Structure 1
Amino acid sequence: MASDTGWADPLAGVPLLDARHVTAGERWVFSAGFNVDAALTSTGRIDSELDDLRRLAGAGARVAVLSHLGSHRDGTASALDHVAGHLSRRLGRRVRYVPENASDAAVRAAEALEPGEIAVFGNTRHHAGEERGDPELARRFALLGDAVAVGGFSKAHRAHASNTGVLRLLPGWAARSLVTEVRFLAPWAGPGEGVYRAAVLGGRKPEKTLVGLVHAMRTCDLVVPGGVVLNTVLRALGHDLGASDLGSRPDACLDAVRGVMDLPARARLHVPRTVRVAPVDGRRIVGEARSRPVADGVPAGHAVVDFELEPWAARALAGAGSAVLAGTPSRYLDGQVRSADAVLSALSRAAGPALLLGGDTVAELPWPGPVSTGGGSALQLLATGTCAVLDALRDNARRVAGEGRGPADDNVMDGVST
C-alpha cells in the first residue's frame, strides 16, 4: 500500500506483536534499545517498552531482555543493572538482572525463568561481535528464547547480532514502540512530490553524511550541512580546514560527499560563505570564535565551530512544506549558536511540519515542536522508506510462512534449539 508520502507502507509485511496471541510459559527474547545512562537522565527509551513487557509478562511469558549501552569499540559498554531496577519500579514487579547474555550460564538463567518473569541480561556490546552482526553471537543470543519481540526504534537501522541477527534464527514480531515510531514519522517520509522538502544535517556521527546527505540530496529540495557534515563538504570542495573535526569515518564520508557531488541532484546544497573558527586543543575550544570567509581557509590549530546561514536558505527553510533537522549544526553547547538559532527560527515559521531527529539533537536544542530520538534509524527510514530491522522482520515472516508454521507452532528456525 502506498502512503501519501510516496513510499510504500514501511510496515507492510511486518508481523506485529499486538496481533500475536501470547500463552503462558512461552520463552521470548525482547530486543530493546535501552541505551540509557546509569543516572537515568532520560528514560523514554525504556518507558516506551513498558506496555509490551507488561502484556507479555501478564500473559505468563518468560522474557529475556537484550539491550546495549555504549560501544565495545570505544570501551563505553557498561552494565545494565540500572535498567532492571527502573523496570522493576515502573512495572511493579521484580525484574532480575543477569550480567551475562551469551554463556551457558545465561542460557540456564533464561530457561529457569518462571511464567510471567522478566530478566534483563548483560549488555550486548560487551561482545565485539554484536556490532559486526556476528552469526555465532546471534546464535547464542537466540538460545535465550523461542521467539523475538523487536523494539528499540533507535537501533532499527543497525544490522547487529541482537537486532537483525536473531531474526535469522527465531520468528519475530515488531513491538509497539517500533510500530508507533514508524507511524509517527510517516508525514516526513519519502520524496513528497509537490512538497518543498528541506533537511538540515549536523552533529558528528558518520550516518548523517553516509545516509542523511547521500539520500537527502536525491529526495529533498534543500540540504543545509552543519557540524562534521559541513566540514566534510568543505574538505571535498578543497578548502583548508585546519584542525576541524572530521568525525570517526572521515575517508568514507569524504568519498560519499564526492560521489554525491559527481551526480545530478534534486537538492540545492547550502555552502556558507562565512564560517566561525576558534582555536582548539583536541575538541576543546580554547579561545574566542571569529568570523572568517570560507575561501580564506581555516588557520592551523583552529576549527570550524559554527557558520552563517545564508539569507536565501533561511527563507527557503521558512517556506518548506516539510523539514527535518538531524544533528546539531554547530558547537551549540559551547556557545556557538548562530547557525542553530537561525535554523530553529526559520523552522518555527515553516509552512509545513518540521521535525528534530536524534537523542543529542533533541537534548541540546530548544525546540517545542515534534521530535524523534531515533536519530540514525529515523534518517534511514525517511531516506529509504524502510530500515534494517523492518527488512529483517519481513524476511523472517516470509521464511516462517515458507516453512508452513503458524505463530503457535514450533518457533525454532535454522537449526537453533533450546
Structure 2
Amino acid sequence: MVKATSIILMQEAKSIRDVDIRNKRILIRVDFNVPMDRDFNISDDTRMREALPTINYCIDSEAKSVVLVSHLGRPKSRSTDFSLKHVIKRLERLLNKSIYFADSIESAKAQQDSNQNQIILLENIRFYEGETNNDELLSKKLADLCDVYVNDAFGTSHRAHASTYGVAKFASQKVAGILLKKEIDSFAKVMHNPLRPLLLIVGGSKVSSKLSLLQNVLDVVDKIIIGGAMSNTFLKALGYDMQKSLVEDNLIHDAIRILELAKEKKVKIYLPVDIVSTDSIDMPKDIKITPSQDIPDNLIAVDIGPASVKLFSEVVTASQTIIWNGPLGVYEIHQFSRGTFNIANAIANTYAFSFIGGGDTADAIDKAGQRDNMSFISTGGGASLELLEGNILPAFEVLDKR
C-alpha cells in the first residue's frame, strides 16, 4: 500500500528555496529529453518549459553560475544525433539569455572558472559510460562543478544514476528544484488524504508494466477503470475470446487475482463493455464495434466502444480525484482515438483534481486539446508509476531533509 510516511519523507526534501544560493555555483539536473524530428526540430518542449522556474530562480537569486545537466535518448556512444546542441536555440529563446555549450565536464569547469553569471549546458550526460552505472568518479566530477546540487528532473528521479543519485554523495548541499517539489506535492494531494471518490484510470499495452501498481493501489482507490490493450488480459480472464488482440496469457492468473482482491476490498473495477476492433492497425479495412465478448473472428481490439465511453464518463463525473496513466486505445491513429479523447474530454469537464502520469497519456491529452483543463500533468512516466507503486524514489533519498 502507498504509505503516507513515504510521501511525507519525500516531501521533507529541502527545496532550492530553503538554501542561500547567492554567489554559489549551481548544478541543476534537468530533463531535456525532448522529442525531435529527423531534422532535430523539437516537437514538444514541455519538459524544457517546466525547468524554467528553477533556472530563472537561480538567475534572479544571483547565483555565480548555473550548469545544466541532462540526458537525451539512449545513445550507446557519442553521436551527433543525441547531442544536446540541438536544444540550445530553443533554450536560449525560452530563457532570453545566451547559453554556453560545454562538450565535456572539463570544458564546463573551465568556463565556470573564467566567467561570472554564466549559464552552461553540458553535453548529453549519457555520453559518459559511468552515468547509468552510478560511477563514483563521474559523480565526483559533477559534484566538483557545484556548491549546491539541485535535482529538478522528475522524469529520471526513479533511476540511481551518477547525475541523479551519486553526485549527491559528494555535493555539500543537495536540494530539490521547483518542479521536483511540485511533482511530489501534487502526488501527495492525490494519494495522501485525497478528496473521494478516488478513481484510477489505467491503460496502455501491458498488464506487466502496471501489475504492481494495481496490486498496490487497491488499498487506496475507490474505483479503477482498465482500458487499452491492458484490458484484453482481464477480459480474457473473464472467459472472453479476444481473437487476435494483444493478450498477456502468462498474466491471466494475476488478472483474476486482482479482480478477486478488488472484490474483497470493495474496489469497483470497470472493464470495457464494448470494443472497437479491426483487421489491421496500420491499414484498417474492416472496423467493427461489438460487445466485448463478441469480437469477430481474427480481429484486433484497438479502442473502447461508445457504450464503454458512456459508462466510463459517468464514473469520471462521479469522482472527486482522478489519476490517469495510459491511453485507452491506439489513439495515435485517428480511427481509434475516439475512446481516449472522449475520456479526456470527460475529465476536463469535471471539477475533480486530475493527476496525469505517463508520456503517452500526456500526448493524448494534448491531441485532444485538453492540456489546460487538467489539474496536473506529470513530466515523468516511469517515476509516476514508481510513486503509485508505493516506492520512495532514489532521487529523493539522497537530498537534504528539512
TM-score class normalised by the smaller sequence:
0.7 to 0.9
Classify 1:129/1:275 alpha carbon distance in 2 versus 1 (closer, same or farther; 3 Å).
Answer: farther
- Deviations 1:15-71 (CA, angstroms, capped at 9, x unpaired): 1111211243x4332100112234233333223333432343452423321112223
Measured against aligned partners, the alpha-carbon deviations of 1:209-229 in whole angstroms (never above 9, x if no partner) come to 146433333321211122243
Cα deviations by residue, 1:247-301 (Å, 9 ceiling, x for unpaired): xxx7997787566456454522222243222223xx634333213444456755x
> Which residue number in structure 2 is paired with residue 413 of structure 1?
none
Contact 1:8 1:385 in 2 (8 A): no
Contact 1:357–1:374 (8 Å) recurs in 2 = yes
Quote the Cα distance in structure 1 between the aligned partners of 2:249 and 2:148: 40
Cα offset for 1:372?
Answer: 0.7
CA distance in 1, matches of 2:64, 2:256: 51
Residue 276 (structure 2) pairs with residue 271 (structure 1): no
Give the residue type in structure 2 aligned to 1:35: N
Contact 2:139 2:166 in 1 (8 A): yes
Are positions 1:188 and 2:209 aligned together? no
Conserved 8 A contact 1:84-1:119: no
* 1:91 partnered with 2:92: no
Residue type of the alignment partner of 1:307 = I
Query: Structure 1 counterpart of 2:28, which letter?
Result: F
Local SS of the residue matching 2:166: helix
Q: In structure 2, do the counterparts of structure 1 residues 128 and 77 end up closer, same or farther at CA, with 3 Å as the change threshold?
A: farther
2: CA distance, partners of 1:351 / 1:41? 30
C-alpha offsets along residues 168-221 of structure 1, whole Å, 9 cap, x if unaligned?
A: 3323111112223333444322364x7211111123487961464333333212
TM-score computed with the length of structure 1 as normaliser: 0.75
- Aligned residue type for 1:34: F
Q: Is the 8 A contact 1:196 1:322 kept in 2?
A: yes
Contact 1:98 1:109 in 2 (8 A): no
Structure 1: distance between partners of 2:207 and 2:384: 14
Show the counterpart of 1:306: 303
Aligned to 1:19: 18
What amino acid does structure 2 have at the position aligned with 1:80? L
2:322, 2:352 within 8 Å by CA — same for their partners in 1? yes
Stretches of structure 1 lacking an aligned partner (at least 5 in a row):
399-418
Deviation of 1:148 (Å): 1.1
1:360 alignment partner in structure 2:
360
Q: Could you tell me how far 1:333 is from its partner in structure 2?
A: 2.8
- What is the SS of the residue equivalent to 2:302? strand
The match for 1:407 is none
Paired residue type of 1:87 = L
Q: Which residue of 2 aligns with 1:172?
A: 174
What stretches of structure 2 of length at least 5 have no aligned partner?
none
Alignment-derived partner of residue 215 in structure 1: 216
User: Hey, what's the Cα distance between the residues in 2 that align with 1:136 and 1:237?
Assistant: 53
Structure 1: how far apart are the matches of 2:218 and 2:65?
A: 46
Query: Partner letter of residue 305 of structure 1?
Result: V
1:154 aligns with 2:160: no
Bigger proportion of residues as helix: 2
Match of 1:81 among 81, 85, 90: 85
Distance 1:107 1:28 in 2: 12
Q: Is the 8 A contact 2:228 2:304 kept in 1?
A: no
Shift of 1:332: 1.9
Task: Please tell me the residue identity of whatever aligns with 1:384.
Answer: G
The AA in structure 2 aligned to 1:370 is S
| Change in 2 beyond 3 A, CA 1:114/1:361 | same
Change (3 A) 1:340 1:76: farther
Deviation at residue 316 of structure 1 after TM alignment: 2.5
SS in 2 for 1:21: coil
Identify the match of residue 377 of structure 2 among 372, 389, 394.
Answer: 372
Further displaced range: 119-128 or 200-209 = 200-209
Question: By how many angstroms is 1:386 displaced?
Answer: 5.3
For 2:250 and 2:115, the matched residues in 1 are separated by 48
Q: Separation in 2 of the partners of 1:389 and 1:150?
A: 7
Alignment counterpart, residue 42 of structure 1, candidates 38, 41, 44: 44
Q: State the distance in 2 between where 1:235 and 1:133 align.
A: 42
CA distance in 2, matches of 1:374, 1:244: 30
Q: Corresponding residue for 2:323?
A: 324
CA distance in 2, matches of 1:148, 1:30: 6
Aligned residues: 382
Structure 2 Cα separation of the partners of residues 235 and 77 of structure 1: 43
> 1:304, 1:67 → 2: CA distance?
38
Change (3 A) 1:56 1:132: same
Partner of 1:343: 343
CA distance in 2, matches of 1:16, 1:133: 23
Deviation sequence 1:336-385 (CA, Å, 0-9, x none): 13432443354345463334333432332322332414242344445638
1: CA distance between counterparts of 2:225 and 2:76? 30
